[in-house]
Amino acid sequence: MPANQRPPRLAKIPDERLTPRQRELMAAMRSGPRGGRVSQDGPFGIYLHAPEFGDLTQKLGAYCRYNTALPARLSEFAILCTARYWRAQYEWFVHAPIAESAGVAAETINALRTGRVPTKARKDERAIYDFIREIYQTRRVGDRTYKRVHTLLGDAGMVEFVGILGYYALVAMTLDVFRVALPEGAPVPFAEPRSRRS
């Protein structure tokens, strides 16, 4: 775990201590589109602690990640915008290289990471960025902002786009609340906020 991260709040469950339902969930995650590379890192280890919830959540996640009408570039760009808003270290760590492979420019990714408006992003990425910024700042989206993205995605794509934002906000909150650690030696993308004492 990187030195400037706090210790996780939920421990990984050793394989030999997994219940039959937890084993079933892990098998379901590994047999889906994510493939056999699923481990207890990231949100998946958290889902094992509540396997019924985890099963429903991972199914939604698999759909949001692999089966929507959004091009991978726009989907991954939206995920990065969400990760930046929540300062979800692990979400950013996983999705930044995927976004770059999908065609999001490194300069755009760096602008997002540092909290700057990605002024050199492609036109469709800017429409997505403005939508996400507006919904997080105002909890609403104006007609002009909506129309810009709707022109790109259509009706079904808009529903799926908002679903991606909701799902990855859930993942970000899960990662942040339970303090899911980055792998040893991985750079921490965002400064951690000062902890508040209750």
- Percent of the chain with pLDDT strictly greater than 90: 84
Give the contacts of 151 (CB within 8 A, at least 6 positions apart).
Answer: none
Whether residue 61 is found in the same domain as residue 98:
no
- Asked if residue 197 is part of any domain, the answer here is no
**Average per-residue pLDDT in the chain?**
93
| Domain stop point among 7, 31, 66 | 66
Query: pLDDT at residue 67 above 80?
Result: yes
Q: Give the pLDDT confidence of 15-40 residue by residue, as tens digits.
A: 899 999 999 999 999 988 887 778 88
| Domain, as residue range, for 62 | 15-66
If one counts the domains in the chain, the total is 2
Whether residue 80 is found in the same domain as residue 123:
yes
Write down the pLDDT at residue 196. 60
**Arithmetic mean of pLDDT, 151-173:** 98
CATH code, domain with 127: 1.20.1290.10
Whether residue 82 is found in the same domain as residue 99:
yes
Whether residue 79 is found in the same domain as residue 164:
yes
- Asked if residue 58 is part of any domain, the answer here is yes
Q: Give the pLDDT confidence of 100-118 residue by residue, as tens digits.
A: 999 999 999 999 999 999 9
- Asked if residue 147 is part of any domain, the answer here is yes
Query: pLDDT at residue 160 above 60?
Result: yes
- Asked if residue 7 is part of any domain, the answer here is no
Give the contacts of 47 (CB within 8 A, at least 6 positions apart).
Answer: 25, 29, 53, 54, 55, 57, 58
Whether residue 52 is found in the same domain as residue 89:
no
Whether residue 101 is found in the same domain as residue 165:
yes
Whether residue 78 is found in the same domain as residue 62:
no
Query: pLDDT at residue 63 above 80?
Result: yes
Q: Concatenated DSSP letters for 101-141?
A: HTT--HHHHHHHHTT---TTS-HHHHHHHHHHHHHHHHSS-
